[in-house]
Amino acid sequence: MNKSKQSIILVLTIYGLFTTLLITSEIKSRYFPSQLERIKRSGVLTILTRTDPTTYYQNDNGFAGFEYDLVNLFADYLGVSAAFKTPATFDQILNDIQTNKADIAAAGITITEQRQKTLAFSPPYHEITEQIIYRTGTPRPKEAKDLANGILEVVKGTSHVDTLHNLKQKTPNLHWLINDTLSTDGLLFLLNQNLIDYTVADSNQITLIRRFYPQLNIAFDISPPRQLAWAMHLSPDKSLLRATTHFFKLIKQNKKLEQLIDRHYRYAEKMTYANNCIFRQHIKSRLPHYQKIFESAANEQELDWRLIAAIGYQESHWRRNAISPTGVRGIMMLTRSTAKQLGFNNRIKPENSIRGGALYFKQRLNRIPTSVPTPDRIWMALAAYNIGYGHLDDARILTQEQGGNPNKWMDVKKHLPLLSQKKWYKKTKYGYARGHEPVLYVENIRNYYDLLTWLTENNSIEEQAMKPLPKLSTVPHKDIVIINPAL
């Protein structure tokens, strides 16, 4: 056989092998698709989560929560929709993802050595510490041995149980109860009601929920910083895991992850115990006089009345005769010229002030460019209500010039304080402004709005926690009691 024929046979052989590989690959892809391919074909990403202010919850505006927003961002990245399931307990979430009953468990899950033996984890997206929580009016425990003086209760299946076991090695008298019915929110409610003495919560959880239960306090940390991540079924198929790795790398680079953390957590740190208590008192003593007016005015502008009420509280603490050193007056603190421009001659009259304030806010909201997404456009409209649209626009321009995103409140609020510095305000169209004030203004209103929303809606946390208390049954380990309603 000459070399020419040998070359032809070699080429045909290689071509045949290549074709066979392509066909085999196509057959494998069609009949044995990867998990990621199955998700894309179905168009649905199935998520296990839990109802919690830090993860997933429903309010009058629909569903919300840090995990909810983060998951939907990932679903958009994949080009699919997210379907959320909420198993009854945290322990069941872990069991269900281990047995491959969903694609991802996105429930504020801490990465631990024990869990890594049975679960796969995405790259971490947030860092927390585990903290002992007690109630104001009771002695503050200063160290682990002090916890023996009361009832410490934690949720079954959480990393808190493992942390307590580790703590017990140094504190032999430490003992606790395990609740296999309630979530951490439910235990925090029981603590607020003085039905237990202590519980354990992650730092992000207590940051949000102590606004609703202001008498709850942090005693001390019981863990080093820990990382939160999504959990997945442990499988040789790494397609979904690789997709989450690419996704988190992307949103860390483009700062979308930082923006979500800022949106859901950082503003909540500004609410003090004193302000919280005073606000609650005024909800009872002052708000009833004006709530119907807030509702009517907000309805006229197609807005949430609680947002308008929150603005009113930040402006005047709901005092009809409030007056500032600069001459703005009334519940919504309108200037004489603004009130007149809006069509209200008597700006002191509560109905005029509230209706005028709602209209003025709606006008600010309508001026925010459509390129600014919700809820950032709401925060920017609030800033414009406080400082004026011109100064907000100056801050957005400075933000863009400094490499930030003028459509993101997180970036704009970092540049608003520059308006009080000559180096920067001399470059702007509208000049000097006390730029730090609208930042605090917006954060306060967000907290007041969240509290009003929570206090005026059905409280699923309390509904869950107020179920008849289950019986206790002792289990072999003498330091632990499992709470089981089936007994």
Which residues are catalytically annotated? Answer: 315
Residue showing tokens 């005024």? 282
Would you say 54 and 208 are in contact if contact means Cβ atoms under 8 Å apart? Answer: yes
Residue 110 CA to chain centroid, in angstroms?
A: 16
339: its two tokens: 């009130």
| Distance in angstroms (rounded) separating the CA atoms of residues 78 and 387 | 40
Q: What angle do CA 117, 120, 125 make, to 5 degrees?
A: 120
Distance between alpha carbon 13 and the CA centroid of its chain, in Å?
Answer: 59
CA 291 to chain centre: 27
CA–CA dist 393, 130 (Å, integer): 41
Quick one: which H or E segment has residue 275? helix 273-285
Distance, CA of 187 to CA of 197 (rounded, Å):
10
H or E segment and range at residue 436: helix 436-456
Tokens of 79: 């080009």
Q: What is the secondary structure of 170-188 as a DSSP string?
A: T-TT--EEEESS--HHHHH
* Residues sharing a CB contact under 8 Å with residue 456, sequence separation 6 or more, in sequence order: 306
State residue 19 phi and psi, 5-degree precision. -65, -40
The secondary structure of 70-89 as a DSSP string is HHHHHHHHHT-EEEEE--SS
- At 355, list the tokens: 């209706």
